[in-house]
Structure 1
């Protein structure tokens, strides 16, 4: 059991970890490195020489390790809360008393005609939230990475008529996950999707080759899970596609904090570091007060 689990290995997450680590809390940072920050050249970060973002992160990781923080280079695919938090990655599960989400900007939406038109009317982004409405129905999971596999496992208790739509991509999942999908008999459609069609509700998928397929619901799990994906599953308040937090970086869920680009506002390293510090201090106070 960790005292604090931080999701995100950028400036916000690493900054938060310094405060929880120095506070003698057992801290775990989970995340993949941001390619955008890795290739960026940081020139406007106060009290620091201009340098590539990759070097900045390397220094932050070194500082975190020096104060006893554990760091895992894994992809997070889900979070649940039942008293404490369970964070699921592509490699396993980790328990934490408090969680800080610091995963940067939310996902980029898939470019498929009419996808926004059917949001909430056949197109969804959270199986745990909306899967219940599709008992025994024909359902698709739009995605090709391990996050899509996680959503398939959530959906299989609701219906066994599941198709994976990769939208022209090859599957980029762990071999064991691909094997499970095939062994369970779930269909895999590799065709590129042109549009979604229907009257008031989603009724069919139209592919670029002119073929079509009837469907009742489509759950988007494209690429890797984002901060918004995690937050929606937990019932966190979202505003303008960002996680809403108070002055303490706390969400509306006790023990759950957020920092950095995922909370909206100015997208700068300095902002992320400052918010990470506030989130780290308040997560520490939460754990000390409640456990």
Structure 2
């Protein structure tokens, strides 16, 4: 039976997962990567990202899907194996650990690296996902895309710390930033809210929800792109149109941790908790990397870095156990 136990299984295939696979493969651990299938996107959030200009090594930028293809090819070159399936359940009570795939296969593993990521919460209205995937005016990451909107008018949707932080960051580039929020009260901390209120570039549309995302043939896209949004008052139902060049959705993220409820320690938002300075979870031999345990940075480069850490942590764990 021991011969059929995987040394390392990696769940998830974004920058963290494939970097973990690369390092584990080069350490001759022959990692098995479950890269996911619909509705989960193999390759993670970068698969629905167009231009990536802030990943080191790509002077002219790179398309998100192309970047993930390179990640995968490099890991596979050194011996990583991939299965385009989801893991549907885990048993972390007994060693070796048991993972069950959507095809019903039982996989035994001495070590597991979790890199299932986190998804940005979206508004769920027409044109939102399409424009985000095309890089045509809708985004969920100001740090990633803010520089594309120099001297333009943009809006941020949300009322928490993330929304205030995104709005403040965007004022470095945009001509104006309008915060749209469905209430007058905010979930954000007072310090973040005050900082936004004191910024002369930030405008406010309170007691408003977005009823429609408007599109038109807009330069430089030469395709349907965001032209504005239609707002609806939560007080009297009146509607108005706000012309925009960019829309940033900042209503939070949802970490993909449902598989580990009751097994692994999580914070109040559902992110996996790792020991300071490592990727170790509360269960020996289970490691977490990337956005599934990072609610602060959420960048491809930081995810990749933590994937490297997870592989090294797993390698050292296996060595200590004589595996």
TM-score (norm 2): 0.52
**What displacement does 1:16 show?**
0.6
Q: Distance in 1 between matches of 2:29 and 2:44?
A: 29
1:208 alignment partner in structure 2? none
Per-residue displacement from partner, 1:104-141 (whole Å, max 9, x unpaired)?
116969x9xxxxxxxxxxxxxxxxxxxxxxxxxxxxxx
Q: How many residues align?
A: 178
1:230 alignment partner in structure 2? 259
Per-residue displacement from partner, 1:177-199 (whole Å, max 9, x unpaired)?
xxxxxxxxxxxxxxxxxxxxxxx
Is it true that 1:102 corresponds to 2:133 in the alignment? Answer: no
1:84 alignment partner in structure 2? 96
Deviates most, 231-240 or 85-94: 231-240
Residues 80 and 59 (structure 1 numbering): CA distance in 2 closer, same or farther, change over 3 Å?
A: same
TM-score (norm 1): 0.57
Residues 106 and 228 (structure 1 numbering): CA distance in 2 closer, same or farther, change over 3 Å?
A: farther
Residue of structure 2 aligned with 1:57, choices 68, 77, 102: 68
Q: Distance in 1 between matches of 2:267 and 2:96?
A: 22
2:54 alignment partner in structure 1? 44
Per-residue displacement from partner, 1:160-206 (whole Å, max 9, x unpaired)?
xxxxxxxxxxxxxxxxxxxxxxxxxxxxxxxxxxxxxxxxxxxxxxx
Determine helix, strand or coil for the equivalent of 2:283: coil
Residue of structure 2 aligned with 1:240, choices 265, 269, 275: 269
Matches within 5 A, 1:62-211: 62-81=73-92, 82-91=94-103, 92-105=105-118
Asked if the contact 2:264–2:281 (Cα under 8 Å) also holds between the matched residues in 1, the reply is no
Residue of structure 1 aligned with 2:305, choices 267, 274, 285: 274
2:229 alignment partner in structure 1? none
Residues 75 and 286 (structure 1 numbering): CA distance in 2 closer, same or farther, change over 3 Å?
A: same
**What displacement does 1:241 show?**
2.1
**What displacement does 1:94 show?**
1.1
**What displacement does 1:288 show?**
1.3
Asked if the contact 2:272–2:281 (Cα under 8 Å) also holds between the matched residues in 1, the reply is yes
2:26 alignment partner in structure 1? 22
**What displacement does 1:31 show?**
1.8
Q: Distance in 2 between matches of 1:25 and 1:36?
A: 27
Query: Runs in 1 of length 4+ with deviation above 6 angstroms?
Result: none
Q: Distance in 2 between matches of 1:238 and 1:103?
A: 16
Is it true that 1:253 corresponds to 2:253 in the alignment? Answer: no
Structure number with the bigger relative contact order (C-alpha 8 A, sep ≥ 6) is 1
Q: Distance in 2 between matches of 1:66 and 1:288?
A: 23
Determine helix, strand or coil for the equivalent of 1:15: helix
Per-residue displacement from partner, 1:261-283 (whole Å, max 9, x unpaired)?
11122111001000000011001
Determine helix, strand or coil for the equivalent of 2:261: helix
Asked if the contact 2:44–2:117 (Cα under 8 Å) also holds between the matched residues in 1, the reply is no
**What displacement does 1:237 show?**
3.5
Per-residue displacement from partner, 1:235-288 (whole Å, max 9, x unpaired)?
433343211112111111111110111112211100100000001100111111
Determine helix, strand or coil for the equivalent of 2:98: strand
**What displacement does 1:35 show?**
6.3
Q: Distance in 2 between matches of 1:250 and 1:38?
A: 27
Residues 236 and 107 (structure 1 numbering): CA distance in 2 closer, same or farther, change over 3 Å?
A: farther
